[in-house]
Protein backbone atom coordinates (compact mmCIF):
# COMPACT_ATOMS: atom_id res chain seq x y z
CA UNK A 1 0.00 0.00 0.00
CA UNK A 2 2.89 2.31 0.77
CA UNK A 3 4.26 1.41 -2.65
CA UNK A 4 0.95 2.37 -4.20
CA UNK A 5 0.95 5.66 -2.37
CA UNK A 6 4.39 6.58 -3.62
CA UNK A 7 3.43 5.57 -7.16
CA UNK A 8 0.46 7.86 -6.84
CA UNK A 9 2.73 10.81 -6.20
CA UNK A 10 5.25 9.43 -8.68
CA UNK A 11 4.90 12.50 -10.89
CA UNK A 12 6.95 14.48 -8.41
CA UNK A 13 9.47 11.71 -7.80
CA UNK A 14 12.80 13.13 -9.05
CA UNK A 15 14.00 9.73 -10.33
CA UNK A 16 10.88 9.05 -12.32
CA UNK A 17 10.89 12.56 -13.67
CA UNK A 18 14.57 12.35 -14.64
CA UNK A 19 14.06 9.09 -16.54
CA UNK A 20 11.19 10.63 -18.42
CA UNK A 21 13.02 13.87 -19.05
CA UNK A 22 16.12 12.41 -20.62
CA UNK A 23 14.16 10.39 -23.17
CA UNK A 24 17.31 8.26 -23.53
CA UNK A 25 18.08 4.54 -23.32
CA UNK A 26 14.82 3.61 -24.99
CA UNK A 27 13.78 0.43 -26.80
CA UNK A 28 13.21 1.42 -30.41
CA UNK A 29 11.79 -0.63 -33.24
CA UNK A 30 12.89 0.43 -36.72
CA UNK A 31 10.84 -1.02 -39.58
CA UNK A 32 12.87 -0.35 -42.70
CA UNK A 33 13.80 -2.64 -45.60
CA UNK A 34 16.38 -0.46 -47.33
CA UNK A 35 19.65 -1.79 -45.93
CA UNK A 36 21.61 1.45 -46.30
CA UNK A 37 18.99 3.63 -44.66
CA UNK A 38 18.38 1.07 -41.93
CA UNK A 39 22.09 0.94 -41.07
CA UNK A 40 22.45 4.70 -40.96
CA UNK A 41 19.42 5.27 -38.74
CA UNK A 42 20.12 2.31 -36.46
CA UNK A 43 23.71 3.48 -36.15
CA UNK A 44 22.70 6.96 -35.05
CA UNK A 45 19.96 5.78 -32.68
CA UNK A 46 22.02 3.05 -31.05
CA UNK A 47 24.36 5.62 -29.55
CA UNK A 48 21.60 6.45 -27.08
CA UNK A 49 19.06 3.64 -27.40
CA UNK A 50 18.59 -0.06 -27.99
CA UNK A 51 17.45 -0.59 -31.56
CA UNK A 52 15.75 -3.55 -33.21
CA UNK A 53 15.64 -3.44 -37.01
CA UNK A 54 12.89 -5.33 -38.82
CA UNK A 55 12.40 -5.41 -42.58
CA UNK A 56 9.21 -7.43 -42.79
CA UNK A 57 6.01 -5.69 -41.64
CA UNK A 58 4.25 -8.87 -40.52
CA UNK A 59 7.17 -9.88 -38.34
CA UNK A 60 7.34 -6.30 -37.13
CA UNK A 61 3.81 -6.50 -35.73
CA UNK A 62 4.68 -9.67 -33.87
CA UNK A 63 7.94 -8.25 -32.53
CA UNK A 64 6.17 -5.05 -31.45
CA UNK A 65 3.38 -6.95 -29.70
CA UNK A 66 5.78 -9.17 -27.81
CA UNK A 67 8.27 -6.47 -26.85
CA UNK A 68 8.23 -3.39 -24.68
CA UNK A 69 9.09 -0.68 -27.19
CA UNK A 70 9.11 2.99 -26.33
CA UNK A 71 8.93 3.98 -29.99
CA UNK A 72 8.63 2.57 -33.51
CA UNK A 73 9.94 4.23 -36.67
CA UNK A 74 8.15 2.98 -39.76
CA UNK A 75 9.09 3.40 -43.39
CA UNK A 76 6.06 4.25 -45.49
CA UNK A 77 7.56 2.50 -48.51
CA UNK A 78 8.29 -1.08 -47.62
CA UNK A 79 8.67 -3.14 -50.77
CA UNK A 80 5.27 -4.55 -51.60
CA UNK A 81 3.69 -3.19 -48.39
CA UNK A 82 1.96 -0.06 -47.28
CA UNK A 83 3.79 1.26 -44.22
CA UNK A 84 0.76 3.37 -43.38
CA UNK A 85 -1.30 0.21 -43.02
CA UNK A 86 1.27 -1.13 -40.58
CA UNK A 87 0.97 2.11 -38.59
CA UNK A 88 -2.79 1.74 -38.44
CA UNK A 89 -2.52 -1.88 -37.30
CA UNK A 90 -0.10 -0.93 -34.54
CA UNK A 91 -2.47 1.83 -33.44
CA UNK A 92 -5.36 -0.61 -33.14
CA UNK A 93 -3.68 -3.51 -31.32
CA UNK A 94 -4.06 -3.44 -27.53
CA UNK A 95 -0.43 -4.37 -26.92
CA UNK A 96 0.99 -1.63 -29.15
CA UNK A 97 -1.57 1.16 -28.93
CA UNK A 98 0.49 3.16 -26.43
CA UNK A 99 3.69 2.97 -28.48
CA UNK A 100 4.53 6.24 -30.28
CA UNK A 101 5.00 6.00 -34.05
CA UNK A 102 7.14 8.05 -36.40
CA UNK A 103 6.69 7.66 -40.16
CA UNK A 104 9.67 7.83 -42.49
CA UNK A 105 8.41 9.46 -45.68
CA UNK A 106 9.34 10.90 -49.05
CA UNK A 107 8.33 14.28 -50.38
CA UNK A 108 5.60 12.71 -52.56
CA UNK A 109 4.05 11.08 -49.47
CA UNK A 110 2.35 14.28 -48.24
CA UNK A 111 -1.17 12.91 -48.52
CA UNK A 112 -0.29 9.73 -46.63
CA UNK A 113 1.52 11.71 -43.94
CA UNK A 114 -1.66 13.67 -43.36
CA UNK A 115 -3.74 10.48 -43.19
CA UNK A 116 -1.26 8.98 -40.74
CA UNK A 117 -1.29 12.03 -38.48
CA UNK A 118 -5.06 11.92 -38.72
CA UNK A 119 -5.38 8.48 -37.19
CA UNK A 120 -2.84 9.09 -34.46
CA UNK A 121 0.69 8.63 -35.81
CA UNK A 122 2.73 11.03 -33.70
CA UNK A 123 5.33 12.43 -36.04
CA UNK A 124 7.23 11.94 -39.32
CA UNK A 125 10.69 12.33 -40.80
CA UNK A 126 11.52 13.23 -44.40
CA UNK A 127 14.09 11.36 -46.44
CA UNK A 128 16.97 11.80 -46.60
CA UNK A 129 16.73 11.51 -42.83
CA UNK A 130 18.84 14.05 -41.00
CA UNK A 131 20.73 12.46 -38.13
CA UNK A 132 20.12 15.21 -35.57
CA UNK A 133 16.50 15.56 -36.49
CA UNK A 134 16.07 11.79 -36.13
CA UNK A 135 17.58 11.83 -32.65
CA UNK A 136 15.59 14.89 -31.56
CA UNK A 137 12.22 13.60 -32.78
CA UNK A 138 12.84 10.14 -31.34
CA UNK A 139 13.76 11.62 -27.99
CA UNK A 140 10.70 13.85 -27.89
CA UNK A 141 8.36 10.89 -28.44
CA UNK A 142 10.14 8.70 -25.90
CA UNK A 143 9.93 11.48 -23.31
CA UNK A 144 6.25 12.05 -24.03
CA UNK A 145 5.46 8.33 -23.73
CA UNK A 146 7.31 8.01 -20.44
CA UNK A 147 5.45 10.93 -18.94
CA UNK A 148 2.13 9.51 -20.01
CA UNK A 149 3.12 6.10 -18.57
CA UNK A 150 3.94 7.73 -15.24
CA UNK A 151 0.65 9.59 -15.33
CA UNK A 152 -1.36 6.50 -16.14
CA UNK A 153 0.40 4.53 -13.37
CA UNK A 154 -0.38 7.27 -10.87
CA UNK A 155 -4.00 7.38 -11.99
CA UNK A 156 -4.43 3.63 -11.67
CA UNK A 157 -2.76 3.64 -8.26
CA UNK A 158 -5.08 6.30 -6.90
CA UNK A 159 -8.14 4.55 -8.33
CA UNK A 160 -6.90 1.39 -6.66
CA UNK A 161 -6.37 3.23 -3.38
CA UNK A 162 -9.90 4.58 -3.42
CA UNK A 163 -11.33 1.06 -3.13
CA UNK A 164 -8.62 -0.58 -1.01
CA UNK A 165 -8.15 -0.65 2.73
CA UNK A 166 -4.75 0.81 3.54
CA UNK A 167 -3.94 -1.44 6.50
CA UNK A 168 -4.95 -4.86 5.22
CA UNK A 169 -5.02 -4.46 1.44
CA UNK A 170 -8.56 -5.87 1.44
CA UNK A 171 -11.40 -4.10 -0.32
CA UNK A 172 -12.68 -1.19 1.72
CA UNK A 173 -16.18 -0.37 2.90
CA UNK A 174 -16.88 1.82 -0.13
CA UNK A 175 -16.04 -0.99 -2.51
CA UNK A 176 -18.19 -3.42 -0.53
CA UNK A 177 -21.17 -1.07 -0.52
CA UNK A 178 -20.91 -0.49 -4.27
CA UNK A 179 -20.49 -4.13 -5.02
CA UNK A 180 -23.38 -5.27 -2.86
CA UNK A 181 -25.53 -2.50 -4.29
CA UNK A 182 -24.79 -3.84 -7.76
CA UNK A 183 -25.58 -7.43 -6.73
CA UNK A 184 -28.90 -6.29 -5.28
CA UNK A 185 -29.99 -3.99 -8.06
CA UNK A 186 -29.09 -5.83 -11.25
CA UNK A 187 -31.98 -7.88 -12.53
CA UNK A 188 -29.79 -10.79 -13.58
CA UNK A 189 -28.21 -10.98 -10.12
CA UNK A 190 -31.35 -10.52 -8.05
CA UNK A 191 -32.53 -14.12 -8.06
CA UNK A 192 -29.16 -15.75 -7.52
CA UNK A 193 -28.40 -17.14 -4.06
CA UNK A 194 -25.96 -15.10 -2.03
CA UNK A 195 -24.65 -15.14 1.51
CA UNK A 196 -22.69 -12.78 3.73
CA UNK A 197 -20.47 -13.39 6.73
CA UNK A 198 -19.51 -10.82 9.33
CA UNK A 199 -16.35 -11.73 11.20
CA UNK A 200 -15.26 -9.98 14.40
CA UNK A 201 -12.07 -10.83 16.29
CA UNK A 202 -12.74 -11.93 19.86
CA UNK A 203 -11.40 -9.74 22.67
CA UNK A 204 -9.33 -7.70 20.26
CA UNK A 205 -9.12 -4.79 22.68
CA UNK A 206 -7.10 -7.00 25.02
CA UNK A 207 -4.46 -7.47 22.30
CA UNK A 208 -4.17 -3.72 21.82
CA UNK A 209 -4.07 -3.14 25.57
CA UNK A 210 -1.44 -5.79 26.22
CA UNK A 211 0.87 -5.48 23.22
CA UNK A 212 0.12 -2.06 21.83
CA UNK A 213 -1.85 -0.73 18.92
CA UNK A 214 0.86 -1.55 16.38
CA UNK A 215 0.92 -5.22 17.38
CA UNK A 216 -2.86 -5.02 17.04
CA UNK A 217 -2.36 -3.75 13.48
CA UNK A 218 -0.06 -6.70 12.73
CA UNK A 219 -2.73 -9.07 14.00
CA UNK A 220 -5.31 -7.39 11.79
CA UNK A 221 -3.10 -7.81 8.73
CA UNK A 222 -2.43 -11.46 9.51
CA UNK A 223 -6.12 -12.02 10.21
CA UNK A 224 -7.04 -10.48 6.84
CA UNK A 225 -4.45 -12.62 5.04
CA UNK A 226 -5.74 -15.78 6.61
CA UNK A 227 -9.36 -15.02 5.79
CA UNK A 228 -8.39 -14.27 2.21
CA UNK A 229 -6.47 -17.56 2.10
CA UNK A 230 -9.51 -19.57 3.10
CA UNK A 231 -12.04 -17.99 0.79
CA UNK A 232 -12.53 -18.49 -2.94
CA UNK A 233 -11.32 -15.99 -5.55
CA UNK A 234 -14.93 -15.10 -6.41
CA UNK A 235 -15.74 -14.17 -2.81
CA UNK A 236 -15.53 -10.51 -1.86
CA UNK A 237 -13.50 -9.94 1.28
CA UNK A 238 -13.73 -6.43 2.67
CA UNK A 239 -12.71 -4.63 5.83
CA UNK A 240 -16.03 -3.54 7.23
CA UNK A 241 -14.95 -1.72 10.37
CA UNK A 242 -12.13 -1.73 12.91
CA UNK A 243 -11.53 -5.46 13.32
CA UNK A 244 -14.51 -6.65 11.38
CA UNK A 245 -14.43 -8.28 7.96
CA UNK A 246 -17.38 -8.96 5.69
CA UNK A 247 -17.19 -11.83 3.22
CA UNK A 248 -19.74 -11.92 0.40
CA UNK A 249 -20.28 -15.40 -1.00
CA UNK A 250 -21.93 -15.34 -4.43
CA UNK A 251 -24.00 -18.40 -5.30
CA UNK A 252 -23.80 -19.80 -1.76
CA UNK A 253 -26.82 -21.08 0.15
CA UNK A 254 -27.07 -21.28 3.93
CA UNK A 255 -25.47 -24.70 4.33
CA UNK A 256 -22.49 -23.81 2.17
CA UNK A 257 -22.05 -20.39 3.79
CA UNK A 258 -22.16 -21.98 7.21
CA UNK A 259 -19.55 -24.55 6.22
CA UNK A 260 -17.26 -21.84 4.82
CA UNK A 261 -17.66 -19.76 7.98
CA UNK A 262 -16.93 -22.76 10.16
CA UNK A 263 -13.79 -23.53 8.16
CA UNK A 264 -12.56 -19.94 8.51
CA UNK A 265 -13.27 -19.94 12.24
CA UNK A 266 -11.37 -23.19 12.62
CA UNK A 267 -8.41 -21.95 10.50
CA UNK A 268 -8.10 -18.77 12.55
CA UNK A 269 -8.00 -20.76 15.76
CA UNK A 270 -5.72 -23.46 14.32
CA UNK A 271 -2.43 -21.56 14.63
CA UNK A 272 -1.46 -18.48 16.66
CA UNK A 273 -0.45 -15.40 14.67
CA UNK A 274 3.22 -14.52 14.33
CA UNK A 275 3.46 -10.85 15.31
CA UNK A 276 6.81 -9.10 15.17
CA UNK A 277 5.93 -6.47 17.70
CA UNK A 278 4.67 -8.91 20.33
CA UNK A 279 6.86 -11.07 22.55
CA UNK A 280 5.13 -14.27 21.46
CA UNK A 281 2.79 -15.64 18.80
CA UNK A 282 -0.74 -14.56 19.65
CA UNK A 283 -3.69 -16.93 19.67
CA UNK A 284 -6.72 -15.36 18.01
CA UNK A 285 -10.30 -16.52 17.70
CA UNK A 286 -13.13 -15.08 15.69
CA UNK A 287 -16.92 -14.98 15.97
CA UNK A 288 -18.93 -15.09 12.77
CA UNK A 289 -22.51 -14.20 11.88
CA UNK A 290 -23.99 -15.73 8.72
CA UNK A 291 -26.96 -14.61 6.63
CA UNK A 292 -28.32 -15.44 3.20
CA UNK A 293 -30.24 -13.10 0.97
CA UNK A 294 -34.02 -13.39 1.31
CA UNK A 295 -36.54 -12.72 -1.43
CA UNK A 296 -37.96 -9.70 0.41
CA UNK A 297 -34.62 -8.07 1.25
CA UNK A 298 -34.91 -4.52 -0.03
CA UNK A 299 -31.20 -3.72 0.28
CA UNK A 300 -27.85 -5.24 1.25
CA UNK A 301 -28.37 -3.65 4.67
CA UNK A 302 -31.20 -6.09 5.40
CA UNK A 303 -28.96 -9.07 4.79
CA UNK A 304 -26.04 -7.60 6.72
CA UNK A 305 -28.32 -6.79 9.66
CA UNK A 306 -29.22 -10.47 9.99
CA UNK A 307 -25.54 -11.43 9.78
CA UNK A 308 -24.83 -8.88 12.52
CA UNK A 309 -27.54 -10.41 14.71
CA UNK A 310 -25.85 -13.79 14.24
CA UNK A 311 -22.55 -12.22 15.25
CA UNK A 312 -24.13 -10.73 18.37
CA UNK A 313 -25.47 -14.15 19.34
CA UNK A 314 -22.09 -15.75 18.69
CA UNK A 315 -20.48 -13.26 21.07
CA UNK A 316 -23.19 -13.72 23.69
CA UNK A 317 -22.94 -17.48 23.38
CA UNK A 318 -19.29 -17.51 24.37
CA UNK A 319 -17.38 -16.37 21.20
CA UNK A 320 -15.23 -18.45 18.80
CA UNK A 321 -18.37 -19.74 17.08
CA UNK A 322 -20.55 -19.39 14.01
CA UNK A 323 -24.24 -18.44 14.22
CA UNK A 324 -26.53 -18.41 11.21
P1 LIG B 1 -15.45 -8.69 21.26
O2 LIG B 1 -15.49 -8.35 19.85
O3 LIG B 1 -15.03 -10.08 21.50
O4 LIG B 1 -16.73 -8.38 21.96
O5 LIG B 1 -14.35 -7.83 21.98
P6 LIG B 1 -13.41 -6.76 21.34
O7 LIG B 1 -12.38 -6.41 22.34
O8 LIG B 1 -12.91 -7.22 20.03
O9 LIG B 1 -14.40 -5.58 21.24
P10 LIG B 1 -14.76 -4.63 20.04
O11 LIG B 1 -15.01 -5.46 18.85
O12 LIG B 1 -15.86 -3.77 20.50
O13 LIG B 1 -13.46 -3.75 19.93
C14 LIG B 1 -12.72 -3.62 18.80
C15 LIG B 1 -11.44 -2.90 19.13
O16 LIG B 1 -10.65 -2.85 17.93
C17 LIG B 1 -11.63 -1.49 19.54
C18 LIG B 1 -10.57 -0.71 18.78
O19 LIG B 1 -9.68 -0.05 19.62
C20 LIG B 1 -9.82 -1.75 18.03
N21 LIG B 1 -9.50 -1.31 16.68
C22 LIG B 1 -10.34 -0.86 15.73
N23 LIG B 1 -9.65 -0.56 14.59
C24 LIG B 1 -8.36 -0.86 14.85
C25 LIG B 1 -7.16 -0.75 14.07
O26 LIG B 1 -7.14 -0.36 12.87
N27 LIG B 1 -5.98 -1.14 14.65
C28 LIG B 1 -5.97 -1.59 15.94
N29 LIG B 1 -4.78 -1.95 16.46
N30 LIG B 1 -7.07 -1.67 16.71
C31 LIG B 1 -8.26 -1.31 16.17
MG1 LIG C 1 -17.53 -6.27 19.25
MG1 LIG D 1 -14.10 -7.79 18.46
MG1 LIG E 1 -15.72 -5.13 16.56
Burial of 140 (0-12, 13-18, 19+ CB in 10 A): middle
Mean pLDDT over 186-203 rounds to 90
165 within ligand 1 shell (Cβ under 6 A) = no
For residue 105, how many other CB atoms are within 10 A of its CB? 22
Distance 245 CA to ligand 4 centre (A): 9
Q: Where are the alpha helices (DSSP H) in the chain?
A: 2-8, 14-22, 35-45, 57-66, 83-92, 110-118, 131-162, 173-185, 187-190, 204-211, 213-229, 254-270, 300-316
pLDDT tens per residue across span 216-269: 999 999 999 999 999 999 999 999 999 999 999 999 999 999 999 999 999 999
d(CA 218, CA 220): 5
Where residue 1 falls among pLDDT bands split at 50, 70, 90? very low
pLDDT at 5 over 70: no
202 within ligand 1 shell (Cβ under 6 A) = yes
Residue 245 φ/ψ, nearest 5 degrees? -125, 140
Looking at residue 18, its pLDDT comes to: 59
Looking at residue 12, its pLDDT comes to: 53
Quick one: what percent of the chain has pLDDT higher than 90? Answer: 81
ipTM for the predicted complex comes to 0.96
pTM to 2 decimal places: 0.72
pLDDT tens per residue across span 50-106: 999 999 999 999 999 999 999 999 999 998 889 999 999 999 999 999 999 999 999
Looking at residue 277, its pLDDT comes to: 81
23 within ligand 1 shell (Cβ under 6 A) = no
Q: Where are the alpha helices (DSSP H) in 230-271?
A: 254-270
* Nearby residues for ligand 4 (ion, Cβ within 5 Å): 200, 244
d(CA 272, CA 40): 67
pLDDT at 2 over 70: no
Where residue 4 falls among pLDDT bands split at 50, 70, 90? very low
Query: To test the ligand 1 pocket, which listed residue (243, 282, 285, 311) has its Cβ within 8 A of the most ligand atoms?
Result: 243
pLDDT at 287 over 60: yes
Nearest residue to 81 via CA among 97, 95, 61, 63: 61
Where residue 153 falls among pLDDT bands split at 50, 70, 90? confident
- For the chain, what is the radius of gyration of the CA atoms? 29
The sign of the CA dihedral 60, 65, 69, 70 is: positive
Say if residue 305 is preceded by a cis peptide, omega within 30 of 0.
Answer: no
Amino acid sequence: QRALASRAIGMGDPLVTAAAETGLDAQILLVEDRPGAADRMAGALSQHHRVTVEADPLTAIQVAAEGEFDLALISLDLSGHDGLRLCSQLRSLDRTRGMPLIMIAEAHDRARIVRGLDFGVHDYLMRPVDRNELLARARTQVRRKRFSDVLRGAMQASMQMAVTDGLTGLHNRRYLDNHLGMLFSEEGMRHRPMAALILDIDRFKAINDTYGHEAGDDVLRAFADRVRQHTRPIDIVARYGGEEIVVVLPDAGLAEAHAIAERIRERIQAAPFAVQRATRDLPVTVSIGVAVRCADDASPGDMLRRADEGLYEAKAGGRNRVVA
